[in-house]
Structure 1
Amino acid sequence: MEKARLEVVPGRIHAILGENGAGKSTLIKIMAGVVAQDEGRLLLDGREVAFRSPAEAAAAGIACVFQELSLIPDLSVADNIALANPPRRFGMIDRRAQRKLAEEALARAGAEDIHPRAAVKDLPLSRRQMVEIAKALASGPRALILDEATSALTAGDVAKVFAVLKRLRDEGLALLYISHRMHEIAELADTCTVFRNGRNVASFAAGSRSNSEIVEMMIGREYSNVFPPRQASARLASAPVLECRDLGWSDRLREISFSVGEGEVVGLGGLEGQGQRLLLLALFGVLRGTTGSVLVDGSPVAISGPAAARKPPLSMALIPEDRKTEGLMLPMTVRENLSFAALDRIARGGVIDRTKEEQSIDDMVRLLEIKTAGLDVPVGTLSGGNQQKVVIAKWLMRQPRIILLNDPTRGIDVGTKQELYQLLRRLAEAGAAIVFYSTDYDELIGCCDRVLVLYDGRVVRELEGDAISERALIASALNVEAGQKGTAA
């Protein structure tokens, strides 16, 4: 990271913007005591400080909430919230006091509905993120740093967190907020600073620059044509590549029927938690006990598990929701992560063909423009956007015909998002059948040929072409006019 300057003041929400790899995370790691700066000074209340550990930073009143959770799944919510400094009595953890501390922290975070005794592993990702925020607030910080802390939250939880942050600002906390979601910055920030290549490009009052101006500062080039043009006639006359008929699972998925043609991008919309992720897992053979039928090229198939789903004739790929825990092996190298999913394609007699492996990996690095210091560095050292590219690349090495995407742009910068949108369209034009779930309405509108809107585990509406609009998506997500199909209201 090059020389950077940043001033954060009490009673203000200061937004940091920049592409993945721009230096944002390195900066906050220095502020949080995770890494030490090579040069320059870190001042707190005008006094120079040098934190040797996160514990020292926390003791000084600096708390961080990262996109990557720091929770211990097998412990309870209360245990996690009080983990660093549990209340004690007679040398033992005071469970009653710990539960009270957890209840107060959860209430302050707007998450009163989470039970302190619940095991973290039993909570969905969005609720775990709320526990992470409560954990940070439990320490009574003077400065709160949030790094993509809302990327895993439901819309309802985001609204609660925004209310909490605004209240904390009014109480005099200094807040540093990192997000790739421009609408969040517009709603929350008082001041913005843009980073690029390890330097702060500009600081300005929120609202004084347009989104296009901000994005151009972030990526260093003109920002236009965010979404590639759709094909003039995306739905081909040929039979569907993938078809579901009355697919169901427990009471969570109900009689879902749809098809995806060659070269088509079909989106899944609706409020979070309405069955979109479960549908992708069902198609990839993760869920047991599904009902109904799945057809590939017009023939019924039995998807016994992910191993069967990824092999011909299905040739499916699933890009998971959480790249850190479901998509990558962080301590292993970029090379190992890239080749892992395609070992059966690059090996003969159980021995990896190194020449074929190198060629395949080089092709993927060039295709997705993966930025890395080398193929033999741990994949965990890459920026979030480049980690996501590795997840996608490892599946593309299998040359899948059916690609299932589970919110693939969560927590990555606008420049990388634009690259992925272009890749998505190129894959479709090459003949892939794509099912694309996104929590971002703009992505569904800009990327998809059709969108299926789910509500309570059912498809309540299908939108196509110009009928895919924000108004239609929101109305359908709320199950308004659910009986109508086709054109938007």
Structure 2
Amino acid sequence: MPAVTDIVKLQNVSRYFGGITALKDVDFSCRAGSVHGILGENGAGKSTLIKILSGVLPPSEGQVLVDDKPVQYQSPSQAAKDGIVCIFQELSLIPDLSVAENIFIDHPPRRFGLIDASAQRRMAEKVLARIKCEDVDPDARVRDLSLSRRQMVEIAKAISKDLRVLILDEATSALTSKDVETVYGLLEELTANNVASLFISHRMQEVEALCDRLSVFRNGSHIQSFDKGDLTEGEIVRLMIGRDIEAQYPPKPPKAEVHQPALSITDLRWEQSLKGVDLSVGQGEIVGLGGLDGQGQKELLLALFGVLKGVKGEVRLGDMPFIPTSPAACKSAALALVPEDRKTEGLMLSLSIADNLLLPNYKAVSRGALIDTNRAAQEVDAAIAKLQIKTASPDISVETLSGGNQQKVVIAKWLALNPDVILLNDPTRGIDVGTKQEIYSLIRNLASSGKGVLLYSTDYAELIGCCDRVSVMYDGRVVNELSDDQLTEQALVAAALNIQSKGVA
């Protein structure tokens, strides 16, 4: 049996941001030919760890060793020369460049000192084919791709390099189930070629399926490393959060005989994505949107929030007809959307937490043309307390927060408007188990206060645990509705494949 080889080691590594300790005295290593899972709540230090490994940040104390030799990376390009490449959860692609230009942006093929565009396109085609993305045009602009396709381009960019260590930060959270299978196969191939993979995911089933070794981080400290199978899932969760976790999903209330309507949709159509959607959400009800990814669920939410033009059909809020002409009109009608991509669609990263929380609601904290600073501060403090946003100050940049706390800011800014209907597009993507539990409780409390909630999620367990009923979409239509004892994973899968008529339940 070959000896275990550690490619990268961290020794007594700490990282400080002002008075905040992001990592403290961390010893860590990753082995060649293994998939090493990194677990922990948002804010546990995982992101800081991988930024140090990949050259984005230097350690404040301690050292990084590659092949037992100390290194001091000043940039990701330096780490990449040693074969250490990271696929970050928040994409690093340049929207206005082509797919091929993004994949080879820091190592393009050259001829006579100039970039060889033809060779670059051919090489991009080969890399895309390797990850089964032949449908992606190397000449397409990245901004014109869906989030899942952009994520696959990010993966293609990483594997175009000579890899020794591949770091994946929630790299599957935005992918379709088919693409997730492709990533699984890619990791198997890399492992067989003695590449070390560091895999960060909040989906325990992915960790169980892929990783042969695991490390848990909490509050900036490396708590424990162990081989897969040494600890139960419950024991791992206790290490992550430092306590026993209660039931993940809050209890559902007794089924009401009649819900007063909050949102009603009849024969909603848009281009080839929505082909006559009929759906309703009652006051005090959480309705899920199920089905395979790409069946019109995301377009439905965007249509209801006035983002898409040329939408046809009938929409009613309560008993009143409503035409979603723009997000501003929807906001005025007490309709809110928590979007799919918090970084690009939900937040202004360069602004403070306070500014982001106040963005939709400046009129409420203003007197004429001037902001009432006392009232604004009260609103911000109330939002931070209500959502339990972990921050040293509301005046720091929102991009400094962990992913889970950023998502809380996105949700909190809309809740300040007291909407009657809340549209949620995959609201727990890339969020740790503890924060997920907080958001699930928040969603249930919103429904209990009389709000109507329409929730799209690709996680069947989330739909089953959170929703009172689930409308399953297929090819731009609602093809089935499941509730009570019918709401099972088997029934959701059958309905998603549009085979419910065969009696699978």
Query: Which TM-score applies when normalising by structure 1?
Result: 0.97
The aligned residue for residue 381 of structure 1 is: 400
Instruction: Quote the residue 1:274 is aligned against.
Output: 295
Q: Structure 1 segments of 4 or more deviating over 6 A?
A: none
Q: 1:366 aligned to 2:382?
A: no
Tell me by how many angstroms 1:447 deviates: 0.4
Residue number in structure 2 paired with 1:165: 187
Residue 3 of structure 1, CA deviation:
1.2
1:263 to 272, 275, 284: 284
Question: Is 1:459 the counterpart of 2:478 in the alignment?
Answer: yes
Mapped partners of 1:67, 1:470: distance in 2: 27
Aligned identity (percent) is 54
Which ranges of structure 2 fall in alignment gaps of 5 or more residues?
Answer: 1-22
RMSD of aligned C-alpha atoms? 1.3
Deviations 1:50-102 (A, max 9, x none): 11111111111111101111111111111111100111111111122212321
Preserved CA contact (<8 Å) 1:276 1:454: yes
Aligned mates of 1:144, 1:296 — CA distance in 2 = 48
Q: CA deviation at 1:115?
A: 2.3
- Cα distance in structure 1, aligned partners of 2:377 and 2:311: 39
Q: Among residues 312, 325, 341, which one is paired with 1:291 in the alignment?
A: 312
One of 159, 162, 179 as aligned partner of 1:140: 162
| CA deviation map 1:358-389 (0-9, x unaligned) | 22211111111100121110000000000000
- Where in structure 2 are the equivalents of 1:102-181 lying within 5 Å? 102-181=124-203
- The structural deviation recorded for 1:345 is 2.1
- Residue 50 of structure 2 is matched in structure 1 by 28
Paired letter, 2:116: D
| CA deviations over 1:328-381 (Å, ceiling 9, x no partner) | 000100000000111122223232222222222111111111001211100000
Query: Is structure 2 residue 227 aligned with structure 1 residue 208?
Result: no
Q: How does 1:23-422 map to 2 (within 5 A)?
A: 23-233=45-255, 235=256, 237-311=258-332, 314-422=333-441
Amino acid paired to 2:427 = P
User: Contact conserved, 2:259 with 2:285, CA < 8 A, in 1?
Assistant: no
The DSSP-based 3-state class of the residue aligned with 1:266 is strand
Map Cα deviations across residues 144-179 of structure 1 (whole Å, 9 max, x no partner).
111111111100000001101111001110111111
Aligned residue for 2:20? none
What SS does structure 2 have at the residue aligned with 1:40? strand
Residue 408 of structure 1 aligns to a residue whose secondary structure is coil
Question: Which whole-Å CA distance do the structure 2 matches of 1:251 and 1:113 have between them?
Answer: 18
SS in structure 2 opposite 1:248? strand
1:255-297 deviations in whole A, cap 9, x for unaligned? 2112111110000000001011111111111111111111122
Which has the larger share of strand? 2
Q: Equivalent residue of 2:214, what SS?
A: strand
TM-score, normalization by structure 2:
0.94
1:236 deviates by 5.5
CA deviations over 1:85-134 (Å, ceiling 9, x no partner): 11111111112221232123223333233222222122111111111111
Retained in 2: the 8 A contact 1:78–1:102? yes
Q: Letter of the 1:117 partner, please give it.
A: D
- Helix, strand or coil at the partner of 2:225: strand
